[in-house]
Amino acid sequence: MRTLGVVLFPEFELLDVFGPLEVFGNRVVQHHYRVCTVAETAGPVASAQGPRAIADHAFASCPPLDVLLVPGGMGTRREVDHAVVTRWIAARAADAELVLSVCTGAALLARAGLLDGRRATTNKLSFDWVVSQGPLVEWVHKARWVEDGKFVTSSGVSAGIDMSLAVIAKTVDAATASELARIMEYTRHTDPADDPFARR
């Protein structure tokens, strides 16, 4: 059983969080994953789209995490300069088995110094801005998701679902990942280099 923690911050992107949680929180993997949410302060956190999500834990009281997921969203433009957030991410990433990001969440990993010298990707519409947050990162423009060691970064928004299914295939098995996609009625990308949005 792995514990997956999702970082919440004001103006996080809804699908960046709840797309992956649809995967990791599904009953099919309930014996493999438990999920929780964490923010600087426990309680409601407003998304970029308006609806709020509840942070189960504050940074100070968050339990040990095996997998850390950092979403993107407009709030990342502010949070990259929030030392409390980037320091906490860096500290928890050090102990995690896997560290995942969706969309511009990669900017937070980059500013935390976690991606230096590694391959990573991010949202194509915000690619230049994210690249500016991590000049020592080997940014991959054409990628649905990129895996480098324990770090797995995905492109924009819905790509987080493909990344999450790929992580399930690796940590549980391929059949379970396929079953999850079927239950979700989701047409999945199984090739991490299959990125139709890189051409636009």
Q: pLDDT tens across 68-91, in order? A: 999 999 999 999 999 999 999 999
> Does 199 score more than 80 pLDDT?
no
Which residues carry out catalysis? Answer: 103
Per-residue model confidence (pLDDT) at position 99: 98
Angle separating helix axes 14-24 and 159-171, nearest 10 degrees: 30
Per-residue model confidence (pLDDT) at position 10: 98
For residues 186-193, give the mean pLDDT. Answer: 94
How much helix, strand and coil, in percent to the nearest 5, is found in the chain? Answer: 40, 20, 40
C-alpha torsion 59→64→66→72, nearest 10: -10
Portion of the chain with pLDDT greater than 70, in percent: 100
**What is the CATH classification number for the domain harbouring 22?**
3.40.50.880
Q: What is the domain extent for residue 36?
A: 2-199
Structural domain tally of the chain? 1
CA-only gyration radius of the chain, Å: 15
pLDDT tens digits for 16-52? 999 999 999 999 999 999 999 999 999 999 999 999 9
Per-residue model confidence (pLDDT) at position 41: 97
